[in-house]
């Protein structure tokens, strides 16, 4: 038997590594188990970070190819995909090494290998068993597929394979018009692929504000993505030339055949709990295969906790991180709190899409009376100067108290702009609070202020 810890975290993604750092900061003797060679989990290795590197690089390529001419810069860019991928790999390496450094700095032991809980308080890693007062499961999620469709990561790829293609496919079919489908579809469209997105529902980006979804569909269509909504894929067969797909209307009807060089499967992710020993120790799952936890993140077994994608809630890195911090503080005897209504979501396309809080549809369903204020980027000087005038900011505030209930943005830097509203919501602030706050001119943030003014029907620049 090796050392005894206060906390062993299983998984080193954003949930796990942040939980480990916060535990160590609070004086708890902490170890983190990771089976991948590098730390950082899906997000740093094969998710958020490499996809953002490719999104940033492909955006520059498209800007140089399509948009520089308009502002008086004559260039003819040539794509060097190998170098673009090498840059992405460098970014990933710098980030994962960064976590190694943070582990050393905080004296967190990195236990390399697959972690299995053998009983409450005991984790087996390889041949060794380690003891801990508390175990945190932060094993994240894995790609989901469709029945009878096998992801081979060559022709039928998940986001992992889509980050590693060695040449630009002539055509790509994306199954799923959610976050991954739109981000990765955008990367390969910008680099030259003909991209078709097939979405089961009647509109892309489920769960988001209706107007934002429509606007996103319109903008991405204009950029060259073909959408087939209300359609479900029933089979996909890989052949020598590419992949043959069969789809049919979601509501039933005649079959259609499509083919493409590459198919990207982006129909969601599922909690990853393989070979963790949960059944044997009696950790209960919910009806959707997620680990069931109480409000302190404790599972049905005392001393075993879970955070991030393996439990309920949005599968987002920042949600997992916050849960990690809150849990660490509770384990150290402090109190912790997370407001699930204040978790922003961002889609890193161009323009970006971001949201927080309730949509109009949700408020209507809940019978809440609200005022909506909307302001377009078109009427903002800075957006015009940047040549980035598509989209709008929409703020929803309680009709009686003016408290902000939600915000929905499609437009340049939406992912950064949403944060102002998130902070105001955390402080239970109102639309009037934003409207009366000085915003620097000329900045995109003025669109948020104007949307807040529009809640009270007094925008200044429209």
Catalytic residues: 441
Taking alpha carbons only, the member of 172, 215, 160 closest to residue 390 is 215
- Cα separations in angstroms, 161 against 164, 166, 231, 322: 5, 10, 24, 29
Length of the chain: 462
Show the site string, 95-134: x = touches ligand NAI by CB under 6 A, - = not: ----------------------------------------
Instruction: Pick the stretch among 13-21, 199-207, 389-397, 452-460 that binds ligand NAI (CB under 6 A).
Output: 199-207
* CB of residue 31 to ligand NAI, shortest distance in Å: 28
Which of 33, 111, 179, 276 touches ligand NAI by CB under 6 A? 179
Q: How many residues form the binding site for ligand NAI (CB under 6 A)?
A: 25
Nearer to ligand NAI, 84 or 201 (CB): 201
53 near ligand NAI, judged by CB under 6 A: no
User: Least Å distance between CB 141 and ligand NAI?
Assistant: 7
Residue 248 or 433 having the CB closest to ligand NAI: 248
Q: List the structure tokens of 243.
A: 């992949």
Task: Please pick, from the candidates 315, 342, 343, 378, the single residue that binds ligand NAI as defined by CB under 6 A.
Answer: 315
Write out the chain in H/E/C secondary structure.
Answer: CCCEEEEEEECCCHHHHHHHHHHHHCCCCEEEEECCCCCCHHHHHHCHHHHHHHHHHHHHHHHHHHHCHHHCCCCCCCCCHHHHHHHHHHHHHHHHHHHHHHHHHCCCEEEECCEEEEECCEEEECCEEEEEEEEEECCCEEECCCCCCCCCCCCEECHHHHCCCCCCCCEEEEECCCHHHHHHHHHHHHCCCEEEEEECCCCCCCCCCHHHHHHHHHHHHHCCCEEEECEEEEEEEECCCCEEEEEEECCCCCCEEEEECEEEECCCEEECCCCCCHHHHCCCECCCCCECCCCCCECCCCCEEECHHHCCCCCCHHHHHHHHHHHHHHHCCCCCCCCHHHCCEEECCCCEEEEEECCHHHHHHHCCCEEEEEEEHHHCHHHHHHCCCCCEEEEEEECCCCEEEEEEEEECCHHHHHHHHHHHHHCCCEHHHHHCCCCCCCCCHHHHHHHHHHHCCCCCCC
Candidates 34, 62, 116, 183: give the one binding ligand NAI (CB under 6 A): 183
Residue nearest to ligand NAI (CB): 178
Which of 77, 113, 126, 206 is in the footprint of ligand NAI by CB under 6 A? 206
155 binds ligand NAI (CB under 6 A): no
Residue of the chain from 19, 31, 117, 180 that contacts ligand NAI (CB under 6 A): 180
- Beta carbon of residue 370, minimum distance to ligand NAI (angstroms, whole number): 25
Query: Which CB atom, from 155 or from 269, has the smaller least distance to ligand NAI?
Result: 269
To ligand NAI, the closest distance from the beta carbon of 197 in angstroms equals 9
Return the residue of 200, 223, 379, 403 that touches ligand NAI, per CB under 6 A: 200
The nearer residue to ligand NAI, 347 or 397, going by C-beta atoms, is 347
Minimum CB–partner distance for residue 406 and ligand NAI (Å)? 17
Among the candidate windows 160-168, 177-185, 219-227, 453-461, which touches ligand NAI by CB under 6 A? 177-185
Under the binding rule (CB under 6 A), the answer on residue 175 touching ligand NAI is yes
Kindly give the pairing relationship between strand 345-347 and strand 352-357: antiparallel
Of 170-178, 286-294, 331-339, 416-424, which segment contacts ligand NAI by CB under 6 A?
170-178
Which tokens sit at 276? 């963790």
Smaller CB separation from ligand NAI, 414 or 435: 414
Is there binding between residue 410 and ligand NAI (CB under 6 A)?
no
Footprint on residues 338-367 left by ligand NAI (CB under 6 A): 346-348
Q: Is 309 exposed, middle or buried (0-12, 13-18, 19+ CB in 10 A)?
A: buried
Residues 255-294 that bind ligand NAI (CB under 6 A): 266-269
Q: Minimal distance in Å, beta carbon 245 to ligand NAI? A: 10
Alpha-carbon radius of gyration of the chain: 23
Residue 168 binds ligand NAI, judged by CB under 6 A: no
| Cα–Cα distance, 191 to 22 (Å, whole number) | 40
Q: How far is the CB of 266 from ligand NAI (least distance, A)?
A: 4
Vertex 383 angle, CA 76 and 56, to 5°: 45
Is 303 among the residues that bind ligand NAI (CB under 6 A)?
Answer: no
* Contact residue for ligand NAI among 199, 209, 360, 402 (CB under 6 A): 199
State which residue, 99 or 316, has the beta carbon closest to ligand NAI: 316
Does 232 interact with ligand NAI (rule: CB under 6 A)? yes
Residues in touch with ligand NAI (CB under 6 A): 146, 175-181, 183, 198-201, 206, 232-233, 266-269, 315-316, 346-348
């Amino acid at each position: 038997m090796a050392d005894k810890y206060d906390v062993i975290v299983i998984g080193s993604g954003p949930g796990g590594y942040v939980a480990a750092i916060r535990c160590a900061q609070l004086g708890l003797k902490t170890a983190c188990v990771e089976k991948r060679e590098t730390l950082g989990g899906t997000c740093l290795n094969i998710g958020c970070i490499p996809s953002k590197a490719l999104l940033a690089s492909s955006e520059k390529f498209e800007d140089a190819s399509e948009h520089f001419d308009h502002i008086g810069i004559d260039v003819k860019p040539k794509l060097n995909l190998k170098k673009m991928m090498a840059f992405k790999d460098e970014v990933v390496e710098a980030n994962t090494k960064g976590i190694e450094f943070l582990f050393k700095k905080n004296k967190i032991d990195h236990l390399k290998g697959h972690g299995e809980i053998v009983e409450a308080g005991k984790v087996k890693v390889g041949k060794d068993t380690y003891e801990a007062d508390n175990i945190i499961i932060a094993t994240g999620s894995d790609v989901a597929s469709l029945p009878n469709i096998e992801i081979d990561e060559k022709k039928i790829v998940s986001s992992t394979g889509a980050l590693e293609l060695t040449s630009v496919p002539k055509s790509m079919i994306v199954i799923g018009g959610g976050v991954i489908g739109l981000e990765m579809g955008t990367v390969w469209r910008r680099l030259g692929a003909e991209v078709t997105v097939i979405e089961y529902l009647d509109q892309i980006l489920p769960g988001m504000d209706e107007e934002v979804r429509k606007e996103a569909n319109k903008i991405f269509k204009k950029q060259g993505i073909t959408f087939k909504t209300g359609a479900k894929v029933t089979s996909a067969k890989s052949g020598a030339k590419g992949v043959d797909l069969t789809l049919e209307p979601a509501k039933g009807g005649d079959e259609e055949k499509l083919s493409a060089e590459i198919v990207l499967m982006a129909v969601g992710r599922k909690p990853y709990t393989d070979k963790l020993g949960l059944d044997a120790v009696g950790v209960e799952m919910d009806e959707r295969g997620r680990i069931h936890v109480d409000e302190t993140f404790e599972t049905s077994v005392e001393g075993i906790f879970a955070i991030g994608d393996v439990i309920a809630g949005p599968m987002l890195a920042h949600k997992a991180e916050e849960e990690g911090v809150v849990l660490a503080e509770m384990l150290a005897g402090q109190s912790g709190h997370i407001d699930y209504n204040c978790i922003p979501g961002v889609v890193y396309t161009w323009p970006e899409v971001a949201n927080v809080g309730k949509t109009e549809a949700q408020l209507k369903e809940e019978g809440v009376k609200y005022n909506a204020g909307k302001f377009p980027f078109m009427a903002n000087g800075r957006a015009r100067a940047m040549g980035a005038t598509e989209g709008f900011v929409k703020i929803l505030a309680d009709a009686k108290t003016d408290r902000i209930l939600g915000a929905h943005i499609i437009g340049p830097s939406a992912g950064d702009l949403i944060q102002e509203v998130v902070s105001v919501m955390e402080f239970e602030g109102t639309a009037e609070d934003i409207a009366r706050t000085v915003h620097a001119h000329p900045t995109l943030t003025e669109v948020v202020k104007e949307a807040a003014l529009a809640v009270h029907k007094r925008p200044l620049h429209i």
